[in-house]
Structure 1
Amino acid sequence: MPQTLDAAAVRSWCSLALEALGREREEIDAINVYPVADGDTGTNLYLTVESAAQAVEAVFAAHETGASVPAPGDAVRAMAHGALIGARGNSGTILAQLLRGMAEVLADAAPADPQGDGGGGADRLAPALRRAAALAREAVAHPVEGTILSVASAAAEAAERNAAERSGAERSGAERSGAERSGAERSGAVEAGATVRAAYAGARAALAATPDQLPVLGRAGVVDAGGRGLLAVLGALVRSLTGETPAAFPMGHRRYDDPAAVASAIESCAPEGGPAFEVIYLLEADDTAVARLRARLDGLGDSLVVVGGDGLWNVHIHVDDAGAAVEAGVEAGRPYRIRITHFGAAAEEPPERVQRAVVAVVPGEGLARLCAEAGATTVLARPGEPPASGELVEAIRRAHAREVVLLPNDAALRHTAAAAAEQARTEGVRVALIPTRAAVQGIAALAVHQPDRRFDEDVVAMTTAAGATRYAELAVAERQSWTMAGICQAGDVLGLIDGDVAVIGADLAATAEAVLSRMLAAGGELVTLVLGDDVPDALADRLEIYVRDGHLAVDTVVYRGGRQSVPLLIGVE
């Protein structure tokens, strides 16, 4: 049934867009010519939308225990923020800005009533698409026609024409009866569907024209890969609002149906002597500092895109001097989640695959170093920024092994890790997913890993070690709430054992001792303590003494976890 862009429709849109990009990812990668023929546009768009979808799901999860549903404004803002922090590549970064532009209009128009349409009727969708296209062009240092920007502009123009035509038709029928007017007023949902259909048709026509606008596409005989991905996202919006699946894009361009010819043409279009690196990072900085950063980066390389606002930005550029691009970010504010990709790496002869590897998600830089020293390929999970399945797949590929043991080390990553494992299996990698629920379980599994024994035996041993490790963490309550151990107040120290609050205390040391007492009451041979950045060494010394005095046969090991979401992790095995 037709509907307006309320919170549920935003959720559906993200899910359908992820599904569509999953189907078309490889095809979009294959036609990736501009700005660099590196064959990853489809993957980058998929990862960007996956991050947006995860952010929207988190908003819904926060409402699961209550009777209400998320407000429409919360959903669209979460979608835009998720895309911003997860944006990959040139096209993914532009898509994040497009979603931000839409969110600015739709969220500002959202009513207080969560059941309202969130400004998602036809009267707001056309301006939202216009704002999205304008904001994306502002973010690109040197806009080029025949790209995703052209497709976005065409979608907005078509939506505006459709809205204007309907408005004119309504004015001409101003003498209709009151009943007729009432019926028209109730047709906002239908009109919203008409708006997105028109936007999709405009984008589809613009995409077909991209080879005539951008010579490199014409020579390769393909349409713009980023624009093709945007069309998939708009098609998902049509489905979410109308239930209809729009017509697929025709593959009628010359050489398009011959993959070998397309690949050869794309290779011939690759520019010589272009920038060596792609640099992407998130940046916390104010508007003035970002303006200076744009000017400086524009002199360092090309394909510069800076998106975001309100103190958080995503920076993308192609440069020869990756260090200078990062240093510019340091001068502007605090860059993090820095990704540097060497464009020439894909052309190099890949090394022979190793037989077996371990891929582990870790909550801090300290544990990342520890696990890397033990031979694992690591994926860093920063506070509030869980890795997407695409990041896990990338890590599995980076491990370059025939067999991979995957340690998610977080119960919340179970489905994400399962999706990554399934994707890697389709690429010919044998993957075993050990459902570790905490970093200390992953450490225990890695400690017994032996790559020279049979794969099944190694997995069983690692699974057994992880399962024999009870885990706990100490956190600080942010607000008053009910817990399994009673009511906590903001600022209380919470001791969680195996995921449930077991102890509520006033200070970190005493609460940690109470948690250890409960865990060791059931026995144990080894206590593992992982300290966050702000926890003093004195706490570890005190807890080591506490364990030794009460349990002479129990050893204690201490690791520095770095910046992590909680001050202390505890494992008992």
Structure 2
Amino acid sequence: MLPESLKREVKEINAEKFKQMLLVATNVLKEVENEINDLNIFPVPDGDTGTNMYLTLSNAVEEVENTTEDSVGIIANNLAMGALMGARGNSGVILSQLLRGLSDGIGDAKVLTAEVLADGLEKAANKAYQAVMKPVEGTILTVSKDVGRRAQDLADELTVAELLIEAVKEAEKSVLKTPELLDKLKEAGVVDAGGKGYQMFLTGLLQGLTSDGAVITTTKGLTGKKIPDRKEGRTESEFGYCTEFIIKGARIEDDEFKEILNKYGDSIIAVKSNDILKVHVHAKNPGLVLEEGLKYGQLTRIKIENMSEQHEERLKKEIESEVEDKQLQNLDGIGVLAVAAGEGLETIFKKLGVSYVLLGGQSMNPSIQDLLDGVNKVNTDKVIILPNNKNVISTAEQIKELTNKEVEVIPTRTIPQGVTAMMLFNPEGDLGEVSSDMKEEVEFVKTGEITYAVRDTKIKEIEINKDDILGLNEGNIEVVCNDYNQATLDLLEEMVEEDDSLITIYVGEEVSDNDKNALIDSLEKTYDEFDIEIYDGGQPIYYYIISVE
């Protein structure tokens, strides 16, 4: 904190100091990313509020960190634009709106004063509320509103430094009150994750203001993990064994493990979500890499390929993919972009007529820029977007304002809803009529999902332990057990109704052939009068995705 003697002296903040505050705020969000993720009400692998807010802010700060502008207003405007394009998930979209409102309040001010900051914080809250169709109190919206009001009440009495201190205090108090306003937070015993994220953003700004300059002054390397383009910079030294595996219960951070892997190979990717660490490395001796992984947890989904033998086949596939992309870019009528993860699901959607499948979904929410790039790859003037995940819908809605194309978003919350919507897709029809028909069809499908718990919790008197298998019916936890096949059968008992006749199962990447065949046998015996369809979806996170119609 600032020494008492300096609080009254810091009456304005210039552009360079404001940039430092934003950089530090980004680093603070990175430090608390997992802590915020763990505030997720449901114990399932999620889109991760902390991750989405951090990646959104990272993208925003990249837009300003190298600017030489000496105006706080210009920096704030660039920040808002970067946040918009980098926004991921619901929390990221709301954060981008908060930053847009902050920019509106700052206006063209060259320096930040208490009055300017108060206007920015108040307009940030107003902008966020406007962006949400049905605002819910006890969330990040409430926290931003409380902070904005408090800032306006004190703007005439305090310096900008003192005002920011009070804003942080108000955010802390407001976050602690969120369970009193939202019953599901109280039941889960957590505060609102988005509100906590906003509190930490303001805390980061304050830390940046009080810093003596000894801070990380770049966001490079902090903005997410990008897989290198295999067509660029390929040399013979890269050939060896492509080694991939997952460490469950990982007792090491991704950056630390990457340092360890540096001595074994290159093209290293290590991405951690909760206690799951996914690893990719090109190594001459994969056995040594696996030994290192065993030191920090249980290994699963081990995949080793001889890259020299696979090189020609991969080049062939890349060429075929490029040809396919070019063909997709010459469509007439209406094109469709669908969000999905898993080779099987990608194939299914393309067979149904989807023009472009964007990798993403649960725990992998695409950014607005990702979606916009995807829309641009569909060379039609009319595009339908299928988000296929509730946390991607609000991101997809932003695309309408960012392109000259006519865009309709079908608010599909699940993969089965997306598949069902495509049954009514007519590429030659009227965009309004086609999208309306697709939206109506979505309501006739029921979705079940089999996943796992990432933490201990209690929901509606149900005791849940970490690693329990969970059965979700329309997103609600209805089954808890220790076997994903049994969970599937138990969940179907809850889902199937008298008029239903079709059960479709999309099998995830972690399910063995033996388990899949055992499930098929059980389904055929129990639901002998039903049509049963089984597809290899290859999706992560979900052992099975279930559709009942």
Q: TM-score, normalised by structure 1?
A: 0.48
Choose between structure 1 and 2: higher helix proportion.
1
Q: Which has the higher contact order (CA 8 A, sep 6+)?
A: 2
Give the number of the structure whose alpha-carbon radius of gyration is greater.
1
